């Protein structure tokens, strides 16, 4: 026997799926008509504004109040501008400027653009307090390392997005900023007592709840004092006792992607992960990016079987589905006039640039960009100074495979501008900088998280607090190279 149609529709109402390519396949639209809560759009789904507007219209033809979500954080995480880089600076840059009104305006502009394209949920902002310089997955996605500053800007971002009619989703509860592992690949552990979380990680979540945030995303992190051996996504102590009872959140709890190893491995697969997340108090289950009709049906069947066998309370799933439906009803047909992002985003990025030392006299330097791998959250998005350079020559190298003497010969009498991301932890990066700076005038541009490391002997150290298109232009302007 197949899954009972009523149970299937109930289960589908808690699922956020995805599909490949720029055109929604028939099954993706059919599932929406049959009760699927919605879809998340990724870079592979986005070619240009006209195509994206047609995509959202096609999904809405399946059901008018379908949830259409996207990760559009600005800065290093962009889906709309994945081919070029975002015209907005990200959270680290906005935190560095420390102008909450600017943060609100930037997020309002992002929200207006999303709303005009038919997108109803932005899986942003990231409100984690990035207290670990070695954090591989948050970094410049965070407003900073100070809980109070992050709280103020998180609330401003939520207000900006939601003023445009797009639901904000603050992430990643109860805080991913102290981790030194990537939950896409493993289950990170934050081994601190709840009192530390309340002081260090949770103030931004309290602030966004006060600001009326529509949704909060779970973190696939282990906090032993609260979650035991599993992730927060599967913990009632985190999602019900802490988030709802203590912090008073009444909106939709969305899981981070269940295909991530921090969840799927811990549960034994995406289907079991969905059951455990619902039982713990999650409402809307983000399956992930690699989704097809078969996987959606598998997850729905797992939820239905769990209800039928008593492993999952039907009332809990009905509660989750009702919350998700209410969110969909509130965001239905949201629209806003798109704004011109360029002036706002690029001016904001320029305000964030910090210079230590002197950048005067950089006449036709050799610009050396060091290769840095992207995280799954960021994806392969262009970055650097290249698109903004005038007559300066640029080369791109891998630090561990580059002979400093070869770069010196190539530069000749010209100064060198060395551009990198997270240089303090880039294999071979600090050594290459030191070797060049020992005999050559070197300016270093850091486009990743601004750690305490500084390059010995460098003429100047420039920090952009992000690697978006806007950040790259701002750095080129500061250096006089644009």
The model's confidence at residue 334, banded by pLDDT at 50, 70 and 90, is low
For the cut 90, the answer to whether the pLDDT of residue 352 exceeds it is yes
- Asked if the model's pLDDT at residue 336 lies above 80, the reply is no
Evaluate if residue 335 carries a pLDDT over 70.
Answer: no
Least confident among 168-182, 339-353, 401-415, 432-446: 339-353
- For this structure, is 256 an active site residue? yes
Q: Which residue has the tokens 């989703």?
A: 169
**231 vs 263: CA distance, rounded Å:** 7
pLDDT digits (tens, 9 = 90+) for 74-119: 999 999 999 999 999 999 999 999 999 999 999 999 999 999 999 9
CA count, 13 A, side-chain hemisphere, 188: 25
Confidence label for 182 from pLDDT (cuts 50, 70 and 90): confident
Q: What are phi and psi of 333, to 5 degrees?
A: 60, 25
State residue 184's pLDDT score: 82
Band (pLDDT 50/70/90 cuts) for residue 420 is very high
Is 87 within 8 Å of 341 (Cβ atoms)? yes
- In this prediction, residues 350-365 reach a mean pLDDT of 94
pLDDT, tens digit, for every residue of 280-315? 999 999 999 999 999 999 999 999 999 999 999 999
337 band by pLDDT with thresholds 50, 70 and 90: low
pLDDT exceeds 70 at position 38:
yes
Q: What is the mean pLDDT of residues 44-69?
A: 96
Which residues, including other chains, have CB under 8 Å from residue 199's CB and lie 6 or more apart?
147
Q: What is the pLDDT of residue 361?
A: 85
Q: What is the mean pLDDT of residues 161-179?
A: 95
Read off the pLDDT of each residue in 186-198 and give the average, rounded to a whole number: 92
pLDDT at 131 over 80: yes
- The residue-averaged pLDDT of 439-464 equals 94
pLDDT digits (tens, 9 = 90+) for 223-274: 999 999 999 999 999 999 999 999 999 999 999 999 988 787 887 899 999 9
Give yes or no for residue 52 having a pLDDT over 70: yes
* Confidence at 391, pLDDT banded by 50, 70, 90: confident
pLDDT in the model for residue 80: 96
Identify the pLDDT of residue 340.
57
Confidence (pLDDT) at 342: 65
Return the residue matching tokens 């979500």.
69
Query: Which pLDDT belongs to residue 35?
Result: 98
- Can you give the pLDDT at residue 333? 52
* Residue 165 predicted with pLDDT over 80: yes
> For residue 466, what pLDDT is reported?
97
Q: Choose the catalytic residue: 105, 122, 256, 283.
A: 256
């Amino acid at each position: 026997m197949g899954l009972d149609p009523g149970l299937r529709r109930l289960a589908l109402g808690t699922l956020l799926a995805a599909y490949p390519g720029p055109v929604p396949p028939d099954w993706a639209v059919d599932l929406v008509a049959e009760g699927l809560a919605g879809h998340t759009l990724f870079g592979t789904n986005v070619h240009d504004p006209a195509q994206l507007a047609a995509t959202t219209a096609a999904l809405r033809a399946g059901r008018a109040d379908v949830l259409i979500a996207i990760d559009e954080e600005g800065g290093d995480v962009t889906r709309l501008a994945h081919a070029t880089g975002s015209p907005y600076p990200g959270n680290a840059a906005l935190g560095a400027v420390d102008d909450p009104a600017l943060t609100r305006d930037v997020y309002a502009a992002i929200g207006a653009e999303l709303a005009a394209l038919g997108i109803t949920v932005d899986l942003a902002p990231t409100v984690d307090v990035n207290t670990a310089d070695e954090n591989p997955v948050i970094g410049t996605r965070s407003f900073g390392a100070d809980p109070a500053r992050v709280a103020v800007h998180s609330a401003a971002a939520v207000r900006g997005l939601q003023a445009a009619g797009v639901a904000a989703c603050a992430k990643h509860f109860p805080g991913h900023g102290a981790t030194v592992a990537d939950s896409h690949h493993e289950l990170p552990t934050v081994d601190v007592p709840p009192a530390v979380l309340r002081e260090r990680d949770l103030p931004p979540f309290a602030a966004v709840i006060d600001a009326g945030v529509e949704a909060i995303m779970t973190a696939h992190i282990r906090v032993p004092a609260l979650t035991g051996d599993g992730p927060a996504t599967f913990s009632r102590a985190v999602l019900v006792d802490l988030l709802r009872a203590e912090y008073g959140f009444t909106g939709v709890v969305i899981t981070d992607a269940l295909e991530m190893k921090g969840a799927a491995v811990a549960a034994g697969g995406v289907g079991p992960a969905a059951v455990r997340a619902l039982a713990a108090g999650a409402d809307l289950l983000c399956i992930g990016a690699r989704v097809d009709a078969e996987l959606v049906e598998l997850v729905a069947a797992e939820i239905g079987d769990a209800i039928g066998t008593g492993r999952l309370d039907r009332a809990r799933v009905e509660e989750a589905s009702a919350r998700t439906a209410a969110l969909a009803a509130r965001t239905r047909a949201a629209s806003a006039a798109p704004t011109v992002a360029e002036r706002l985003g690029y001016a904001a990025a320029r305000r964030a640039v910090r210079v230590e030392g002197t950048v005067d006299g950089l006449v036709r330097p050799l610009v050396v960009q060091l290769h840095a791998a992207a995280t799954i959250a960021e994806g392969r998005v262009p970055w650097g100074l290249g698109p903004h350079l005038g007559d300066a020559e640029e080369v791109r190298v891998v630090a561990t495979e580059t002979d400093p003497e070869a770069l010196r010969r190539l530069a000749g009498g010209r100064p060198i501008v060395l551009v990198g991301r997270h240089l303090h932890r880039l294999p071979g990066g600090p050594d290459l900088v030191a070797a060049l700076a020992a005999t050559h005038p070197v300016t270093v541009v850091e486009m990743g998280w601004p750690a305490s490391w500084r390059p010995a002997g460098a003429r100047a150290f420039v920090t952009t607090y992000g690697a978006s298109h806007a950040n790259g232009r701002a750095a080129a302007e500061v250096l006089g190279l644009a």
